[in-house]
Chain A
Amino acid sequence: MLILLGVAVVVVGFAARFNPLLVVVAAAFVTGLAAHLSPLMVLAAFGKAFNDNRYVSAALLVYPMVGVVERAGLQERARSLIGRFKGVSIGPLLIGYMLFRQVTSALGLTSIAGQVQAIRPIVAPMAEGAVEARDGAITEAARHRIRAQAAATDNIALFFGEDIFLAIGSILLMVGFLASGGIVLDPIQLSVWSIPSAVAAFAIHAARLLLFDRRLRREAKA
Chain B
Amino acid sequence: MIGLGAVYALAGLVFAAFAVLSAFDRDNPKRLGNAGFWGLMALSFLAGDRLGDAGNGALVVGLALIAGLGLLGRGNPDTTTPAERRALAERFGERLFIPALTLPVVVIVGVLALKPITIGGTPLLDPKQVTLVSLALAAVIAAGLGVILLRQPLISPLQEGRRLMDTVGWAALLPQFLAALGAVFALAGVGKAVGDLVTANLPMDTRAAAVAVYCLGMAGFTMIMGNAFAAFPVLTAGVALPVLVGRYGGDPAVICAIGMLSGFCGTLMTPLAANFNLVPPALLELPDRHAVIKAQIPTALPMLIANMVLMYVLAFR
CA distance in complex: A60, B229 (Å): 23
Main secondary structure on A side of the interface with B = helix
Count the A residues whose beta carbon is within 8 Å of the partner chain — how many?
Answer: 113
The distance from the CB of B179 to the nearest CB of chain A, in whole angstroms, is: 4
Taking A50-B60, A144-B286, A193-B314 as contacts, is the C-beta distance between A21 and B229 under 8 angstroms? no
For A24, give its contact among B41, B64, B157 (CB under 8 Å): B64
CA distance in complex: A55, B147 (Å): 26
Most A Cβ at <10 Å: residue of B161, B271, B295, B307? B295
Main secondary structure on B side of the interface with A = helix
Question: Which A residues touch B8, using CB under 8 A?
Answer: 54, 58
Whether, in the assembled complex, A134 has its beta carbon less than 8 Å from a beta carbon of chain B, the answer is no
Residue pair B164, A147 in contact (C-beta under 8 Å): no
Question: Which A residues touch B253, using CB under 8 A?
Answer: 185, 189-190, 192-193
CA distance in complex: A52, B49 (Å): 9
For B310, give its contact among A69, A77, A170, A196 (CB under 8 Å): A196
The stretch that binds A, out of B23-31, B116-124, B273-281, is B273-281
Question: Which A residues touch B299, using CB under 8 A?
Answer: 152, 156, 201, 204-205, 208
Whether, in the assembled complex, B217 has its beta carbon less than 8 Å from a beta carbon of chain A, the answer is no
Residue pair B156, A68 in contact (C-beta under 8 Å): yes
Residue pair A159, B267 in contact (C-beta under 8 Å): yes
**What sequence of 0s and 1s flags, for each residue 270-310 of chain B, a beta carbon within 8 Å of any chain A beta carbon?**
01101111111101101111011011101100110011001
**What sequence of 0s and 1s flags, for each residue 94-135 of chain A, a beta carbon within 8 Å of any chain B beta carbon?**
000000000000001101110111111110100000000000
Residue pair B157, A50 in contact (C-beta under 8 Å): no
Whether, in the assembled complex, B188 has its beta carbon less than 8 Å from a beta carbon of chain A, the answer is yes
Whether, in the assembled complex, B199 has its beta carbon less than 8 Å from a beta carbon of chain A, the answer is no
Whether, in the assembled complex, A138 has its beta carbon less than 8 Å from a beta carbon of chain B, the answer is no
Most B Cβ at <10 Å: residue of A27, A50, A108, A205? A50
Number of residue pairs A-B, CB distance < 8 angstroms? 424
CA distance in complex: A76, B150 (Å): 15
Binding site for A on B (CB under 8 A): 4, 7-8, 10-11, 14, 41, 44-45, 48-49, 51-61, 63-65, 67-68, 70, 79-80, 82, 84-89, 92-94, 96-97, 99-100, 103-104, 107-108, 111, 129, 131-132, 134-136, 139-140, 142-143, 146-147, 150, 152, 156-165, 170-185, 187-190, 193-194, 224, 228-229, 232-233, 236-237, 241, 245, 252-254, 256-258, 260-261, 264, 267-268, 271-272, 274-281, 283-284, 286-289, 291-292, 294-296, 298-299, 302-303, 306-307, 310, 314
Q: 11 A-B pairs, CB-CB below 8 angstroms?
A: A3-B190, A46-B60, A56-B176, A64-B139, A65-B100, A68-B99, A112-B104, A117-B104, A122-B100, A156-B296, A177-B233
